[in-house]
Chain A
Amino acid sequence: MKPIAHLIELTESGMHCREGGFFVDPWRPVERAVVTHAHFDHTRLGCGSYLATPETALLMKARLGPDLHVRTLRYGEEIDANGVRLSLHPAGHILGSAQVRLERNGEVWVVTGDFKRAADPTCAHFAPLRCHGLVTESTFGLPVFRWPTADAVTTEISDWWRRNAAEGRPSLLLAYSLGKAQRILAGVDASIGPIFTHGAIEPMTRVYREAGISLPPTRAVAAATGRRELAGALVLAPPAAEGSAWTGSLAKASRAFASGWMQIRGNRRRRALDRGFVLSDHADWSALLQTVAESRAERVWITHGYAEELARFFKEKGLAAEALRAGQMAEEADA
């Protein structure tokens, strides 16, 4: 086997491609940043320039300001960065999310960014890539994380909403504002009642609609929204919004949270939730194993979450795997 050139190195500022002169999802402001997707823990403000998919560019501008300069690259399109061929490929995580593929002198490296392999009507499906070196996430890198099908979960959500609506109660569903909320919107049975979304979700949903994703109509929820309007409605809000002023009119609501963490009963109980729905935009254990196997990578670097455990597991299987020092990584915000 020939030695593998490192097209990626880990620096204080994050993953660096020295030959190409850019960083992927840097942690600190750098000159040139390639951004896998628009979640906050992957988009550092203050970089000289950004490269991302057109959808990610729209989402970044909606979140960080319209003046942000983002150069766009479509899925599968290739550019040359100082002799490194760079292309972006669907990661299936959220709208616009991409894996970064780098190639130089026949060596291929892939950074998956956050990804999932489950069906999601709101974004392009994950594309498996072959490579020599793979940098993968491991937010849910333990075998206890095994997702039910998204269809089964959205059906559960609809059933819960329907039952609450029949009792005249609002259904407050906590979900991350970018990605998860829209995936739920696309999946629920919108005929049950009106759908309201929190102010942090509405602008993201607008971008999804502009990108041609068909979603049921939603209305913004505000402090002024009356109890009567909310009875029987589904209200989507980011987890951080719990307890803010407008939730007053939701005192009687049934409260639920949609997240991969809901797989663990303790998480649901601690938040005193009425329901926990296991719905994640990250790969579960089997999807992680499948992805590494299909890549045929000879070297695997692991970021986020359970990096140490997953690296040890692969090493025992004879693979050159390594956990990237998690201490410096931003903690996942969108599980």
Chain B
Amino acid sequence: MKRFAALYAALDRTTGTAEKVRALADYFAAAPAADAAWALSFLIGRRPRRPVPTARLKRWAAEAAGIPEWLFAACYETVGDLAETITHLLPPERVEAGPLRPLSAWIEETLLPLRGLPEERQREAVLAAWRAMDSAERLAWNKLITGGFRVGVSQRLVVRALAARLGVEAAAVAQRLMGAWTPGEAFWERLGAACTDDADASRPYPFCLAHPLEEGPEALGPAAEWLAEWKWDGIRAQLVRRGGRVFVWSRGEELVTEKFPEIAAAAAGLPDGCVLDGEILAWREGRPLDFARLQQRIGRKDLTAKVLAEAPAVFMAYDLLESDGRELRAQALSERRAALAALLSAAGGPVLLLSPQLSAPDWPALAALREQARGRGVEGLMVKRLFSAYGVGRRRGDWWKWKLAPLAVDAVLVYAQPGRGRRATLYTDYTFAVRDGEALVPFAKAYSGLTDAEIRDVDRFVRANTTERFGPVRAVKPELVFEIAFEAIRPSPRHKSGVAVRFPRIARRRPDKRPAEADTLATLKSLLHAPAPPPAAS
């Protein structure tokens, strides 16, 4: 456990990728197989189900610390993280050196059995664990039993470190991490097996990436040399169908096959030996659902029927990189598209869709189409050179994203509250309002967009200009004006303003504007021209 706690502390402490990889490599080099397998499963986000209800943990921790529960709550409010709050509050560790217990023993003999125990036995086991650990161990352990174990490392970094340690190709490691497996020595051995034939079949191609089109498209030459399609706001992915199996890779080069069973099932109908490039979207009645819906779905651990029904996923294909086991990347886009259309007309369906090609005679006509993007739930247009090969990485010149400018209004800061976890002692979470006659109507909360220096500046303003307090929230003198940008807006009877905005963020401060010059509710509502997305399934 000590070694794992040290790994957690090292990953938690640094923001540098190189240092994280080094910490991971050091850990995997030294840890016994069973420990390494457990650590690996936690690092890639396979957290054990929370073995004990949070309310009990809070109660036991307050008891152990000898403080009333309200004071525990106040501490939690300040620290912003349950596992850390408990760690700080527990009585100082005893210095007695007990036998060192490996991570695997803690997990297999203490943590996993907790779920089935009666409350009193749970309490004894948890208190005994706390007593036996030092402060670093307690933090890692608390993270595990609160279900909050997260480290800022992507699966890719973990895979990279593992691959280096095992001397196996990274793609093979990633592939072997798929599916159901139980951490333990046997799994660890399988992970390190030298023969990688099992993994080769799954491998995707490097993704071709687009550049934003900053100026008008006229500089690109005649519109006829370009293919235009909607810029979908989903998860970029490759669908690999080889050796009788299906693999879905996200652009982060993570295997997400299991997250999208309906796509995997549909892709089983594709002929063997093909690779499609496209976008995973949550989709209903012929149009995409909010990206947030897709994001929520990815966050779910259990893909229940309800989750699948709320955000049904489709694969919107726009390129074909391999067909009949033959690589097509060097061919012209026009040829690849034709092959893709033929393939999908035979083997596509309601889950495997072809991203439609938009036809317009010239750039102004395309610009007019682009204006419809918001109403269609897409981000704008993609324009791709018809005679280009499929490039590797962010090669400039052939793929362009021509996005709509975000919507924005100038709004007044009216409430502030401390950040949670990230920054519990600074006012970092803000509510903004637009003018409505003499009144100010709150319409958006935004957290991001300011530099650290600006945040500290606003924090000082908040402290010096508080007019009222509601718990942690402070009402402030309406004085600071900010430009608030957002991706979309729709009517919402649930909100006081009558509208809900999507992904609001602070575009910049407007020190040049006084609150009386902020935008009005009428202006905000005038942005509502776009049709509302379809309602959620209930």
Contacts and interface: CB of A to CB of B under 8 A. Distances in A.
B422 A142 contact: no
Interface residues of A, number: 26
Interface in A289-335: 306, 309, 312-313, 316, 327, 331
A266 B88 contact: no
Interface stretch (B50-58, B62-70, B386-394, B431-439): B62-70
A145 B425 CA distance: 13
B12 A265 contact: yes
Given A142-B75, A146-B88, A269 B70 contact: no
Contacts of B428: 270
B452 interface: yes
Contacts, number: 73
Contact of B422 (A243, A261, A263, A266): A266
A146 B135 CA distance: 12
Contact of B13 (A261, A270, A275): A275
B452 A267 contact: no
Which of A243, A265, A313 has the most C-beta atoms of chain B within 10 angstroms of its own C-beta? Answer: A265
Interface residues of B, number: 34
B419 A142 contact: no
Interface in B56-85: 65, 67-68, 70-71, 74-75, 78-81, 84-85
Given A274-B14, A327-B466, A331-B463, A143 B75 contact: yes
Nearest to B19: A274
Nearest to A327: B466
A143 B422 contact: no
B423 interface: yes
A142 B74 contact: yes
A264 B425 contact: yes
B80 A266 contact: yes
Contact of A144 (B12, B70, B85, B426): B85
Contacts of B419: 266, 270
Nearest to A142: B75
A271 interface: yes
B473 interface: no
B71 A265 contact: no
Which of A264, A266, A267, A272 has the most C-beta atoms of chain B within 10 angstroms of its own C-beta? Answer: A266
A265 B83 CA distance: 11
A312 B68 CA distance: 11
A28 B199 CA distance: 73
A77 B422 CA distance: 47
A267 B88 contact: no
B369 interface: no
Given A142-B75, A143-B67, A275-B13, A263 B453 contact: no
A243 B13 CA distance: 22
A144 B79 contact: yes
B65 A143 contact: yes
Interface in A37-95: none
A313 to B, nearest CB: 6
Given A143-B75, A144-B89, A270-B422, A264 B84 contact: yes
A294 B371 CA distance: 73
A142 B78 contact: yes
A323 to B, nearest CB: 13
Given A270-B426, A275-B13, A264 B74 contact: no
B422 A309 contact: no
A272 B15 contact: yes
Given A266-B81, A306-B74, A144 B88 contact: yes
Given A143-B67, A144-B88, 18 more contacts: A142-B71, A143-B71, A144-B78, A144-B79, A144-B85, A144-B89, A146-B92, A264-B78, A264-B79, A265-B84, A266-B419, A266-B423, A270-B423, A272-B452, A275-B13, A309-B74, A312-B70, A313-B68
20 contacts: A142-B78, A143-B67, A143-B88, A144-B75, A144-B78, A144-B88, A145-B88, A146-B88, A242-B453, A264-B79, A266-B79, A266-B422, A266-B423, A270-B422, A271-B452, A274-B13, A312-B70, A313-B67, A313-B68, A327-B466
Interface of B: 12-15, 65, 67-68, 70-71, 74-75, 78-81, 84-85, 88-89, 92, 419-426, 428, 452-453, 463, 466, 469
Q: Which 10 A-B pairs have the closest CB atoms?
A: A144-B88, A270-B423, A144-B75, A266-B421, A266-B422, A309-B74, A270-B422, A331-B463, A142-B75, A266-B80
